[in-house]
Amino acid sequence: MTDTVAHAAGTPDVEQPYDELGLTEDEYGRIREILGRRPTSAELAMYSVMWSEHCSYKSSKVHLRQFGEKTTDEMREKLLVGIGENAGVVDIGDGWAVTFKVESHNHPSYVEPYQGAATGVGGIVRDILAMGARPVAVMDQLRFGAIDHPDTARVVHGVVAGVGGYGNCLGLPNIGGEVVFDPVYQGNPLVNALSVGALRHEDLHVSAASGEGNLVILFGARTGGDGIGGVSVLASETFDETGPSKRPSVQVGDPFAEKVLIECCLELYASGIVVGIQDLGGAGLSCATSEMASNGGTGMRVRLDTVPLRDSSLAPEEILMSESQERMMAVIRPEDAETFFAITGKWDVEATVVGEVTGDDRLVITWHDEVVVDVPPRTVAHEGPVYNRPFARPAELDVLQADAAEDLPRPATGDELRATLLRLAASANLSSRSWVTDQYDRYVLGNTAQAMPDDAGVVRIDETTGRGVALSTDCNGRFVRLDPYHGAQLALAEAYRNVATAGATPLAVTDCLNFGSPEDPGVMWQFDEAVRGLADGCQTLGVPVTGGNVSFYNQTGESPIHPTPVVGVLGVMDDVTRRTPSGWKDAGQALYLLGVTREELSGSEWAWVEHAHLGGTPPRVDLEAERVLGQILVNASRDGLVDAAHDLSDGGLAQALVESCLRYDVGARVWLDEVTGRDGVDAFVALFSESAARVLVAVPRSEEVRFTDMCTARRFPHAKVGVTDDSGSLEVQGQFEIGLEELRAAWEPTLARTFGE
């Protein structure tokens, strides 16, 4: 029989499976307290998914507040919608706004790589769509186990095919991202996905149910039995090797349904009849109904038996927990129903009135006329438990930091430097990513001005003026492991710098905070440090965090992943045709290295590839230098002073030279004397140090004076380190020379050779 509210009130002693659903005894007790009785099985299902770590942010909330507190009024100026909505919205000028967010889909992608990754893309795109925006691009941040581990290929093939299969079929260009291999991600790969959308200011929509008597409509795909408990038993628990398969908790995606849903939603927005809109993602109907009612300060009455099902045998609690994809919920006025159904009909999208907005501040859900849920919506959506988890700096960090990579044996001769450069260029993380990125459509929609392998993806938003945005996401997990506060700032600095190298003014930040278990005080300390570092860094750089996602429980048994706060920075350009690529096209240009090189090798790609070493402290953070460097790059792009700009990060100057030469097959002569003399470092350090706040630029001869004058005026260190030429080789004078063919043969084939054709 159905567990109705009346039945629950009369049977207080029935044992309920709160533990299997991921709730603690205390949390279960609190639900009973709120309701003044035991919850029905449907109510228990709702609370269990909405109070999960993934949905409620119960362990992170107290830390995330800093992002709001450290956002100044000046930073808020361009912010139309901040943290808390489906995605943040930023004013980019001329009446245009963009909305963007990065989210995790880690655990599903390990259990079922293709569908996990595919629905990760689908979910973030719907978040963007729900703000009233047309999604215009996606990016993906992927971290896998060791490149040579037997299980890695399974995950790589599935995830890459899933990201591509969904995104390509959806018609959104993939304009960049990250692919990183490290044994710490072996049992817990990271699959993060970012989407960005564009809208006119007046098209902004919110997920609030308002207007008593208004209709609540569920539209899109039918509800099935997939993804039940995805946010709770899958996303909010640590994997162990003995447990049952969690594959049924992974959703199954249908990109065609989502493509049609996008066009249908945009036509609905254009008709002006949408009062409120919300996508169905994590926690499905439980989330959409409770959040919309809570946001609107209203109540809602939903007839659960009217929800169209793929599987007619689903029970009420399963319908409430299902995370079936490609579904949206809208609130409209009754008199607009005809228009609404005409539009959904045109796109062959199934739409059903499942309830209405009420004025009584209760979310009431019935199942064949019996009440199975009767709760205050706020208690489900916004008043979940909040934990101040204990945190403590792990004692072993001192030992780790004392073991500096600067003490490792290093190459000394020109031949040794040459061999080192080639080995690094061919390594798992520095080699060409094209085997992955060539599986993604970067052209569709016709507005991509720049995509991978350039430092930042650039898309046009306004076809008449050329106004557009640049995006980059970065994180070096090794740096964060060594020093979470500064490591997180280095991630921010790198993404900020990459956006500036493209010529865009950095405007706003999104983050996806991937960490181990919050129940481990050491992990919680990493989290607190990283959030504080990021919030402080954003304040210094004047770019607000607009939203993002926290993913905990990324660990295998007791071993957490490297703390991996992926940071995405969005910048704006008046005219994207002025964007600066990361490689030079012409011979005869002057190469300048901007910034100071220090002996900073700890956590570097060199230490990892050559010595399998991780220890010491990461490169120094200088956000003031990053800011000035950013201004120089943006001005240089606007005034046409540079033809190429490449950020120096993983692999240092050596890797930047490799990538910039191979981008358009134009070589370079490089001399290091000025840098080694000025900065007091040797040639090896000049080539492989990963000091931050540095960029390599190619300057046309005719602009050299203006460019160096600008650097001088801003007192920013700059040194001429070479010229581009058509010799077909990369020469570091006095050290070595490598033909571009040999360089390409080292750099290009690694991933293709490892993973297939």
Partner 1 sequence: MRVGVVTFPGSLDDRDAARAVRHAGGEPVALWHGDADLHGVDAVVLPGGFSYGDYLRCGAIARFAPVMGPLVDAARGGLPVLGICNGFQVLCEAHLLPGALVRNDSRLFVCRDQRLRVENAGTAWTAEFGDGEEIVVPLKNGEGGYVADDRTLDELEGEGRVVVRYVGDNPNGSYRDIAGISNERGNVVGLMPHPEHATEPVFGPGTDGLRFFTSVLRGVLTA
Report, as residue numbers or ranges, the catalytic residues: 54, 105
Instruction: Tell me if 453 contacts partner 1 by CB under 8 A.
Output: no
Instruction: Tell me if 91 contacts partner 1 by CB under 8 A.
Output: no
Rule CB under 8 A: choose which of 413, 559, 577, 733 binds partner 1: 577
Listed ranges 176-184, 280-288, 423-431, 572-580: which one lies at the site for partner 1 (CB under 8 A): 572-580
Instruction: Please answer whether residues 180 and 143 qualify as being in contact, where contact means their C-beta atoms are separated by less than 8 angstroms.
Output: yes
What's the closest the beta carbon of residue 190 comes to partner 1, in angstroms? Answer: 22
Instruction: Tell me if 257 contacts partner 1 by CB under 8 A.
Output: yes
- Distance set, CA 635 to CA 505, 506, 562, 626, 707 (Å): 9, 13, 36, 14, 10
Instruction: Tell me if 259 contacts partner 1 by CB under 8 A.
Output: yes
Region label for 629, one of left (φ > 0), alpha (ψ between -120 and 50) or beta (otherwise)? alpha
Instruction: Tell me if 640 contacts partner 1 by CB under 8 A.
Output: no
Rule CB under 8 A: choose which of 131, 576, 621, 668 binds partner 1: 576
Instruction: Tell me if 449 contacts partner 1 by CB under 8 A.
Output: yes
Listed ranges 88-96, 274-282, 385-393, 447-455: which one lies at the site for partner 1 (CB under 8 A): 447-455
How many residues at the interface with partner 1, by CB under 8 A?
35
Listed ranges 196-204, 445-453, 639-647, 685-693: which one lies at the site for partner 1 (CB under 8 A): 445-453
Q: What are phi and psi of 164, to 5 degrees?
A: -70, -50
Cβ nearer to partner 1, comparing 209 with 573: 573
Gap between the Cα atoms of 289 and 376, Å rounded: 11
- Distance set, CA 108 to CA 33, 301, 566, 712 (Å): 33, 32, 18, 51
- Distance set, CA 434 to CA 185, 303, 453, 729 (Å): 21, 50, 8, 22
Instruction: Tell me if 171 contacts partner 1 by CB under 8 A.
Output: yes
Instruction: Tell me if 440 contacts partner 1 by CB under 8 A.
Output: yes
What's the closest the beta carbon of residue 573 comes to partner 1, in angstroms? Answer: 12
Rule CB under 8 A: choose which of 34, 146, 153, 169 binds partner 1: 169
Instruction: Tell me if 255 contacts partner 1 by CB under 8 A.
Output: yes
Instruction: Tell me if 441 contacts partner 1 by CB under 8 A.
Output: yes
Listed ranges 88-96, 254-262, 323-331, 418-426: which one lies at the site for partner 1 (CB under 8 A): 254-262
Helix residue spans in 71-173 (DSSP H): 73-76, 106-111, 113-129, 152-170
Cβ nearer to partner 1, comparing 360 with 463: 463
Rule CB under 8 A: choose which of 94, 256, 419, 701 binds partner 1: 256
Instruction: Tell me if 34 contacts partner 1 by CB under 8 A.
Output: no
Instruction: Tell me if 114 contacts partner 1 by CB under 8 A.
Output: no
- Selection from 626, 635, 603, 625 nearest residue 707 by Cα: 635
What's the closest the beta carbon of residue 250 comes to partner 1, in angstroms? Answer: 20
Site track for partner 1 across 121-160, x = CB under 8 A: ----------------------------------------
What's the closest the beta carbon of residue 228 comes to partner 1, in angstroms? Answer: 24
Site track for partner 1 across 260-279, x = CB under 8 A: x-------------------
In the sheet that holds 667-670, the strands lie side by side as 644-647, 695-699, 590-594, 718-725, 667-670, 729-732, 736-739
Cβ nearer to partner 1, comparing 422 with 573: 573
Rule CB under 8 A: choose which of 249, 298, 448, 597 binds partner 1: 448
Beta strands in 576-702 (DSSP E): 590-594, 644-647, 667-670, 695-699
Q: What count of other Cβ atoms lies within 10 Å of the Cβ of residue 1?
A: 5
Cβ nearer to partner 1, comparing 237 with 441: 441
Would you give the DSSP letter of residue 182?
Answer: -
**Strands 718-725, 644-647: pairing kind:** unpaired
Residue 319: CA count within 13 A, CB half-sphere? 26
Gap between the Cα atoms of 500 and 506, Å rounded: 7
CA 664 to chain centre: 29
Q: What count of other Cβ atoms lies within 10 Å of the Cβ of residue 297?
A: 13
Region label for 277, one of left (φ > 0), alpha (ψ between -120 and 50) or beta (otherwise)? beta
Instruction: Tell me if 465 contacts partner 1 by CB under 8 A.
Output: no
Rule CB under 8 A: choose which of 210, 271, 352, 439 binds partner 1: 439
Gap between the Cα atoms of 90 and 734, Å rounded: 50
Instruction: Tell me if 168 contacts partner 1 by CB under 8 A.
Output: yes
Residue 563: CA count within 13 A, CB half-sphere? 29
Cβ nearer to partner 1, comparing 17 with 756: 756
Contacts of 357 (CB under 8 A, 6+ apart): 209, 210, 211, 212, 213, 214, 215, 216, 293, 296, 298, 299, 300, 331
Rule CB under 8 A: choose which of 460, 467, 497, 562 binds partner 1: 460
Gap between the Cα atoms of 620 and 474, Å rounded: 17
Instruction: Tell me if 409 contacts partner 1 by CB under 8 A.
Output: no
What's the closest the beta carbon of residue 447 comes to partner 1, in angstroms? Answer: 6
Instruction: Tell me if 165 contacts partner 1 by CB under 8 A.
Output: yes
Rule CB under 8 A: choose which of 419, 443, 734, 753 binds partner 1: 443
What's the closest the beta carbon of residue 333 comes to partner 1, in angstroms? Answer: 28
What's the closest the beta carbon of residue 135 comes to partner 1, in angstroms? Answer: 12
Would you give the DSSP letter of residue 439?
Answer: T
Query: What DSSP assignment string belongs to 606-626?
Result: HHHHHH----S-PPPP-HHHH
- How many degrees, rounded to 5, is the angle at CA 305 between CA 309 and CA 380? 95
Contacts of 3 (CB under 8 A, 6+ apart): 40, 41, 42, 372
Gap between the Cα atoms of 280 and 109, Å rounded: 19
Listed ranges 62-70, 253-261, 302-310, 497-505: which one lies at the site for partner 1 (CB under 8 A): 253-261
Which amino acid, 327? Answer: R
Instruction: Tell me if 339 contacts partner 1 by CB under 8 A.
Output: no
Listed ranges 10-18, 25-33, 114-122, 164-172: which one lies at the site for partner 1 (CB under 8 A): 164-172
Site track for partner 1 across 469-508, x = CB under 8 A: ----------------------------------------
Contacts of 363 (CB under 8 A, 6+ apart): 289, 290, 293, 299, 300, 302, 373, 374, 375, 376, 377, 380
Instruction: Tell me if 444 contacts partner 1 by CB under 8 A.
Output: yes
Instruction: Tell me if 299 contacts partner 1 by CB under 8 A.
Output: no
Cβ nearer to partner 1, comparing 44 with 221: 221
Instruction: Tell me if 119 contacts partner 1 by CB under 8 A.
Output: no
Query: In the range 345-374, which residues lie near partner 1 by CB under 8 A?
Result: 347-348
Instruction: Tell me if 341 contacts partner 1 by CB under 8 A.
Output: no
What's the closest the beta carbon of residue 439 comes to partner 1, in angstroms? Answer: 5
Residue 506, preceding peptide bond in cis (omega within 30° of 0): no
Tokens of 36: 């003044």
Cβ nearer to partner 1, comparing 241 with 757: 757
What's the closest the beta carbon of residue 131 comes to partner 1, in angstroms? Answer: 21
What's the closest the beta carbon of residue 256 comes to partner 1, in angstroms? Answer: 3
Instruction: Please answer whether residues 603 and 616 qualify as being in contact, where contact means their C-beta atoms are separated by less than 8 angstroms.
Output: yes
Contact residues for partner 1 (CB under 8 A)? 161, 164-165, 168-171, 254-257, 259-260, 347-348, 437-449, 460, 463, 576-577, 579, 756-757
